[in-house]
Structure 1
Amino acid sequence: MSQTTTEAPVLSKAEKKTVRIRWFLVGFLILGGVVNYLDRSTLSVANTTIAQEFHLDALQMGLLLSAFSWPYAIANLPAGYLVDKFGPKKMFAFAAGAWSLVSIVTAAANSFGFLYAARVALGIAESPFFTSALKVNERWFNKKERALPVSLVNTGSQIANAIAPPLLTFLLLTMSWRGMFIIVGVLGVVIALVWLRIYRDPTLKEQALIKGAEAEARIVATKEKVGWGQLFKYRNTWFMILGAFGIFYTVWVYLTWLPSYLQTARGFSLAESGWLASLPFLCGIIGVIFGGWLSGRLVGRGVNTVRARKIPIVGGALLAAAAVLPVAYVDNTALAIVLLSVGYFASQVPIGCLWTLASDVAPSNQVASLGAIQNFGGFIGAAVAPVVTGAILASTGGNYTLVFLIGGVLLLVGALSYGLFVKERPVAPNEPVATA
């Protein structure tokens, strides 16, 4: 009986060197993530300034802060499909160019309605970024390697969150909030142009060197396509949506209301809150990297791939809940900031692993689609968080107790969803996601 074996082609030194550009691409995606999240953070940093200029109350500001997330969540669904169809080069460049244009136009806003429409457009424009980044990592890294680069890409958002309060506050104080929007928009245009210049997909030889037998399986998966809508027939998809909702809800309470919380509930000035708000986000950078490192370490020790993703996801969400819940009852400002920092660190531990998990349980031709569907669930939570927080503050006279209680409970929901209900991928290569 004959047996056919597929040997990896021999690459020259020059060809092996070209494979190393994947880490350069990861570095550039980190930079892209920084600019992407600086764009999102502009309104949060200018929260109180814009509220005063346009005479907005807490509920109106909550609606404005959530205006990005609703369309972003919905747009993630077609964005994932489009990234799978057209590739990350075109979609990332399109997204960066579009969100930059929106940011620049926002500087001309003269009413609540204008600002709201601009934030809706921004949400739509930014939706292909992380799905494009996931696709790049799926193409340039094998399963055992993937957790670290995916997590590193996600540090871009955390770096931005850490530098945004002091950096954007400086721009706000020196150039006005309108000038701040223009500067951040120009940065995005540069990112789009450079990406078009530098990105390319790996060749077949490079795929074979990077992935070995996995490259052949990728070709089989591509031939045996599964309809995009088929992903909603599996229980994994729905619990990934619910789990992401719970985790992202609390993350976006931080992203949209933390500067205001420090000013109104803790009595810090605008300049002081800019620096203090960066502390939890600096911890978030470490959290994302730690989650990816831990997942990769577990895989290296022989732990099942999906389980190695779930351990940081569940553990991080549980620790975040344990830190966030007590903030509601802490009077000491220093202790509250410590708890907020620990809570944000822990809430970021799952983030890179969430994206990697999507690439583990979906076939290669559906990686961006499943990642986008999961992100859709997360940003439904992100959209709800600012509105609910604004409504609570409006009805309680600015009391944050219920805000932190709800955030802690939803983190527990996220941990349970991933820990108990997201299952392993089936053995058969033609099955898209783990069965119920």
Structure 2
Amino acid sequence: MSDTLAETPLLTTVQKKTVRIRWFLIGFLILGGVVNYLDRSTLSVANTTIAGEFGLNALEMGLLLSAFSWPYAIANLPAGYLVDKFGPKHVFAFAAGAWSLVSMVTAAANSFGVLYALRVALGIAESPFFTASLKVSERWFNKRERALPVALINTGSQIANAIAPPLLTFLLLTMSWRGMFIVVGALGVVVALVWLRIYRDPTLQEQAMIKGAQAQEAIASTEPKVGWGQLLRQRNTWFMVLGAFGIFYTVWVYLTWLPSYLQTARGFSLSQSGWLASLPFLCGIIGVIFGGWLSNRLVARGTSTVRARKIPIVGGAVLAAAAVLPVAYVDNTALAIVLLSLGYFASQIPIGCLWTLASDVAPTNQVASLGAIQNFGGFVGAAIAPAATGAILTATAGNYTLVFLIGGVLLLVGALSYGFFVKDRSGRTA
């Protein structure tokens, strides 16, 4: 029997059903990613409105924008363990229900302190999403196929980033920022209920068809159980953490400060910035898909799986740095937006491959855990980025030059970490 369903020339009825089920689950996870990231984006879109209502300066707003990422980064560690232990069905559903409740309660916030506490709670609640999604991909796709579905799941966040500025700006203008939080939170409740209804793990027969019965038996008989302590003693783990830090830092400068940058540094109105801010994120959708496609293509041509993940990661990060660094010195607004769009496109090429790389180098029973540790490193960068940007803007009277320079340099740090120090240490070639 073939190791992959995709390689089977004539599919049986059971195989056709398996193909439909697994791609349907990926499609729903894309939708879940959209809702997940719309929740995260609400504060960024309402940045100037909330700052005005609560009398917050750039430094205080930066701290508030960072409030999500610190607990999210830390909570990724137990989230990965919980997904490995209890599976993706119930952990994901619980998380979606929790983050939706937090979003709706945020509509009643009446002070900086309450807003900050609720953003902390949102970060904790959202932490299992990508680790659960990675576990679903690991269970329903084999190693050679996995990059594309993981990349597609990550397009959910990019779709949300693209539609969030115009959509959430519309909600903000028509029903206030409080109404915006309620509507987005309600969407997550629907996602949680539907997921509980539709998800199941593959049967033993389906596992054999997806990954190959002999391969599954070999893994079950020879692969030792690896604890977290051993994962943390491996060089790959720490350079994946550092690499993710460098890439995610710049991504989160985009996610948290781009609407404000367009308004304060480029002079656009709230409604205009809502549409313009969507352009880089639309490019990001293409970037994520391209990265997954390229990685799968490289594997099909005989490139080792780890190398096939690293090429899009390193290439994307270097290209993103080359686009972001010049923005610091560009006066022409149209050119700046083109460079920002190219930079975000390139910064998203690695995203799906980062998660797939974790599933390639981790033991089967530690896939979500290693992915969570890597994501922890990324979201330490994501947590620092908004606060550091706010501090820079406060110290420089709103000048973004240093913001873009730091972002470009950290993208290069990410490229170097993955390119030179993350290696296939398992002895496997595929």
Q: TM over 0.5: same fold? A: yes
CA distance in 2, matches of 1:307, 1:339: 28
In the alignment, which residue of structure 1 is the partner of 2:142?
A: 142
User: Amino acid of the residue matched to residue 106 of structure 2?
Assistant: T
- Residue 7 of structure 1: how far off its partner (Å): 11
Conserved 8 A contact 1:221-1:364: no
SS in 2 for 1:404: helix
What secondary structure, in the 3-state scheme, does the structure 2 residue paired with 1:83 have? helix
Letter in 1 for 2:273: S
- Which residue of 2 is the match for residue 67 of structure 1? 67
CA distance in 2, matches of 1:84, 1:36: 21
Deviation at 1:19, TM superposition (A): 0.7
Question: Distance between the aligned counterparts of 1:12 and 1:250, measured in 2?
Answer: 44
| In the alignment, structure 1 residue 230 sits paired with structure 2 residue 230 | yes
Provide TM-score, normalisation by structure 1. 0.95
Correspondence list, 1:246-325, <5 A: 246-325=246-325
Counterpart of 1:49 in structure 2 is 49
SS in 1 for 2:406: helix
Q: C-alpha separation between the residues in 1 aligned to 2:369 and 2:12?
A: 35
Partner residue in 1 for 2:94: 94
Q: Distance in 1 between matches of 2:266 and 2:175?
A: 27
Q: Does 1:106 align with 2:115?
A: no
Distance 1:114 1:85 in 2: 33
What are the Cα deviations for residues 106-137 of structure 1, in whole angstroms up to 9, with x where unaligned? 00000000000000000000000000000000
Per the TM alignment, residue 215 of structure 1 is displaced from its structure 2 partner at its CA by 2.3
Q: Which amino acid aligns with 2:179?
A: G
- Whether the 8 Å CA contact 1:218–1:363 is kept in 2: the answer is no
Counterpart Cα distance in 1 of 2:215 and 2:377 = 29
Shift of 1:226: 1.1
1:215 maps to a residue whose letter is Q
Q: Give the residue type in structure 2 aligned to 1:17.
A: K
1:428: Cα distance to partner?
A: 8.0
Moved more, 133-142 or 204-213: 204-213
2:254 is paired with a residue of what secondary structure? helix
Q: Which residue of 2 aligns with 1:394?
A: 394
Name the structure 2 match of 1:434. none
Count of residue correspondences: 423
Partner of 2:377: 377
Once the two structures are superposed, the pairs formed by residues 111-130 of structure 1 within 5 Å of their partners are 111-130=111-130
What per-residue deviation string (whole Å, max 9, x for no partner) do you get for residues 51-94 of structure 1?
00000000000000000000000000010000000000011101
Match runs of 1:338-353 below 5 Å: 338-353=338-353
Amino acid at match of 1:269: S
Which residue is equivalent to 2:217? Answer: 216
SS in 1 for 2:165: helix
Does residue 19 in structure 1 map to residue 18 in structure 2?
yes
- Decide whether the 8 Å contact of 2:3 with 2:210 is kept in 1: no
User: Structure 1 residues 189, 7: closer, same or farther in 2, change over 3 A?
Assistant: closer
Deviation at 1:12, TM superposition (A): 9.3
Please give the secondary structure, in 2, of the residue aligned with 1:49: helix
Give distance in 2, aligned partners of 1:6 and 1:58: 57
Matches within 5 A, 1:127-206: 127-206=127-206
Question: What residue in structure 2 maps to residue 408 of structure 1?
Answer: 408
The offset of 1:16, in angstroms, is 1.8
Structure 1 Cα separation of the partners of residues 160 and 428 of structure 2: 41
CA contact (8 A) 1:244 1:374 kept: yes
Q: Distance in 1 between matches of 2:221 and 2:298?
A: 28
In 2: Cα distance, 1:239 partner to 1:389 partner: 24
1:51 to 1:115, Cα distance in 2 relative to 1, 3 A: same
Letter in 1 for 2:83: V
Output the amino acid matched with 1:294: L
Q: Is the 2:3–2:211 Cα contact (8 Å) retained in structure 1?
A: no
Post-superposition Cα deviations, 1:222-275, rounded to whole Å, max 9, x if no partner, equal 7x3111222000000000000000000000000000000000000000000000
**2:319 & 2:3 partners in 1: Cα distance?**
45
Distance in 2 (alpha carbons) for counterparts of 1:187 and 1:165: 17
Equivalent residues of 2:358, 2:367 under 8 A apart: yes
After TM superposition, the score normalised by the length of structure 2 is: 0.96
* Offset at residue 218 of structure 1 (A): 3.9
Asked whether the 8 Å contact 2:2–2:209 carries over to 1, the reply is no
Q: Distance in 1 between matches of 2:277 and 2:337?
A: 9
Give the Å deviation of 1:14: 4.0
Partners in 1 of 2:338 and 2:190 — Cα distance? 37
How big is each residue's C-alpha offset from its partner over 1:284-332, in whole Å with a ceiling of 9 and x where there is no partner?
0000000000000000000011000000000000000000000000000
Off by >6 Å, runs of 4+ in structure 1: 5-8
Query: What's the CA shift for 1:17?
Result: 3.1
Unaligned runs of 5+ in 1: 430-436
How much does 1:197 deviate? Answer: 0.2
Residues in 2 aligned to 1:40 and 1:14: alpha-carbon distance in whole angstroms: 41
Whole-Å separation in 2 of the counterparts to 1:86 and 1:162: 33
One-letter amino acid of the counterpart of residue 286, structure 1? I
Alpha-carbon separation, structure 2, partners of 1:272 and 1:214: 54
Structure 1 residue identity aligned to 2:17 = T
1:221 is displaced (CA, Å) by 6.1
Q: Match of 1:42, SS?
A: helix
Identical-residue share of aligned pairs (%): 83
